[in-house]
Amino acid sequence: MKKNAAFIFSNKFLNYHFHEKHPFNQKRLQLTKELLEQSNALTSEDLVLPREASDKEIALFHDEDYIEAVKRASFGQLSDDEKSEFGLGTEDTPIFEGMHEASALLVGGSLTAVDEVLNRRVNHSLNLGGGLHHGFKRKASGFCIYNDGAIAIRYIRKNYNLRVLYVDTDAHHGDGVQSAFYDDPDVCTFSIHETGRYLFPGTGNVDERGIKKGFGYTFNLPIDAFTQDESFLEVYEAAIRKIAKFFKPDIIVTQNGADAHTYDPLTHLCTSMKIYERIPEISHELAHEYCGGRWIALGGGGYDIWRVVPRAWAQIWNVMKMDTINTGPLPRTWIEKWQRESTVSIPNHWHDTNIEAFPYIPRKLEISEKNSKLLNQLLKYTFHVQ
């Protein structure tokens, strides 16, 4: 019988590691995998090892001299000019040994995820090692070296000629992926994120809509800082349904950054686990409605690796494999193991059961109204195209 889903994973994903104090921490992959295993939702039969992407595959999006620079960076061979030209060796994206190999494996993970689905072995596949949406054609940015999402979409276009809907729910704008397909009418990108007024990378305004033939196939919803669950879900769900109906994709690629939660230290959105339960359910529904089930989900941001990311990411897998989120208490063994290392108290339940302890947002109504206005602006665009 055909399996529902594939979980792409290798311990080598953890080699994508800048340094001990850097917020990007791939230990969250291990935490997520063990949470699923101890909930009996993930077995060895679900696991698929990633391959390393070849230079030629990485060059589907990146310039060859950028790839060469990433390789040389590991050996301390970049001049200061090259470092600034290629965005390497910055505070956000420092150089580390083996960075080319580690990055190429994350890309290979996303290509493996594509092959699993498009060779019809599974309907859905998950590469939580990927989702590095800030990588540009010849520049590293925002913790991202190679943009696996953009490469995977180019790979789908080249080898399978399918029309791709890319949906980015990371709290930051999916700028690198948007840039890759800005003039391409066969790839529709939609990013919901905290407004770039105060947050990296600053782009992702609602009026960024694509250029040339790709005009009208880029969508952005830059919601207000301190947005909470209800408003997030209201505008997100309305927008994604309308965009899917407008574009009618053959396949959906989602970037599932988990940094919009109240606990996340890098952003100002104030959501709870509720959005991370609903987001995969919606992706799943749309994949079956429009794409014969074809859905590839990637990881992304997420900097509260103890309280937020494992639960959020595990729910994607739960939906992929079992068509439902998990609820109730988390496995004791998992909590006890990781509580020894965690500096914060690890939650006991899949849901956030302490929402009343979340910060009170006095501007709640104003924020919701602003977000609704943005939604209306975006919805107008889906009418005017075609």
Q: Which is nearer to Zn ion, 112 or 256 (CB)?
A: 256
Piece of 144-152, 157-165, 209-217, 253-261 that binds Zn ion (CB under 5 A): 253-261
Residues 62-91 interacting with Zn ion (rule: CB under 5 A)? none
Is 384 annotated as catalytic? no
Nearer to Zn ion by Cβ, of 172 and 311: the residue is 172
| Nearer CB in complex with Zn ion: 78/103 | 103
Give yes or no for residue 135 binding Zn ion (CB under 5 A): no
Residue whose CB is less far from Zn ion, 112 or 125: 125
Least distance to Zn ion, CB of residue 268, Å:
12
Of 103 and 125, nearer to Zn ion (C-beta) is 125
Among 108, 129, 149, 257, binds Zn ion (CB under 5 A): 257
Q: Of 303, 267, 262, 276, nearest to 194 (Cα)?
A: 267
Minimum distance, C-beta of residue 321 to Zn ion, in the bound complex (Å): 9
Name residues whose C-beta falls within 8 Å of residue 26's C-beta, 6 or more positions apart in sequence. 13, 14, 16, 17, 129
C-alpha–C-alpha distance, residues 337 and 314, integer Å: 17
Which three-class secondary structure string do you get for the chain? Answer: CCEEEEEECCHHHHHCCCCCCCCCCCHHHHHHHHHHHHCCCCCHHHEECCCCCCHHHHCCCCCHHHHHHHHHHCCCCCCHHHHHHHCCCCCCCCCCCCHHHHHHHHHHHHHHHHHHHHCCCEEEEEECCCCCCCCECCECECCECCCHHHHHHHHHHHHHCCCEEEEECCCCCCHHHHHHCCCCCCEEEEEEEECCCCCCCCCCCCCCCCCHHHCCCEEEEEECCCCCHHHHHHHHHHHHHHHHHHHCCCEEEEECCCCCECCCCCCCCCECHHHHHHHHHHHHHHHHHHCCCCEEEECCCCCCCCCCHHHHHHHHHHHHHHCCCCCCECCHHHHHHHHCCCCCCCCCECCCCCHHHCCCCCCHHHHHHHHHHHHHHHHHHHHHCC
Least distance CB 4 / Zn ion (angstroms): 6
Cα 316–Cα 320–Cα 323 angle in degrees, nearest 5: 105
Choices 82-90, 172-180, 236-244, 340-348 (CB under 5 A): range interacting with Zn ion: 172-180
Least distance from Zn ion to the Cβ atom of residue 119, Å = 17
Q: Does 259 bind Zn ion (CB under 5 A)?
A: yes
List the one residue from 52, 168, 170, 264 that touches Zn ion (CB under 5 A). Answer: 170
Q: Which range in 10-18, 79-87, 300-308, 375-383 contacts Zn ion by CB under 5 A? A: 300-308
Task: Please identify which of the residues 100, 134, 173, 284 carries the catalytic annotation.
Answer: 134
Report the C-alpha gap between 386 and 374 in whole angstroms: 21
| Binding-residue total with Zn ion (CB under 5 A) | 6
**Residue whose CB is nearest to Zn ion in the complex, by number:** 301
Residues 213, 264: Cα–Cα separation, whole Å: 38
Comparison of 266 and 361: residue with beta carbon closer to Zn ion: 266
Closest CB 15 distance from Zn ion, rounded Å: 21
Is 299 a binder of Zn ion (CB under 5 A)? no
Segment 15 to 54, residues that bind Zn ion, using CB under 5 A: none
φ, ψ (nearest 5 deg) of residue 90? -90, 175
What is the Cα gyration radius of the chain? Answer: 19
CB of 301 to Zn ion, least distance (A): 3
CB closer to Zn ion, 57 vs 175? 175
By the 8 A CB rule, do 251 and 293 touch? no
Shortest Å distance, C-beta 76 to Zn ion: 29
Task: Find the part of the chain contacting Zn ion (CB under 5 A) among 66-74, 77-85, 97-105, 168-176.
Answer: 168-176
142 interacts with Zn ion by CB under 5 A? no
From 17-25, 73-81, 202-210, 298-306, give the range in contact with Zn ion by CB under 5 A: 298-306
Closer residue to Zn ion, CB minimum distance, 133 or 242: 133
Span of 61-69, 88-96, 199-207, 249-257 interacting with Zn ion by CB under 5 A: 249-257
Residue 376: CB minimum distance to Zn ion, A: 26
Q: Does 172 bind Zn ion (CB under 5 A)?
A: yes
Residue numbers annotated as active site: 134
Contacting residues toward Zn ion, per CB under 5 A: 170-172, 257, 259, 301
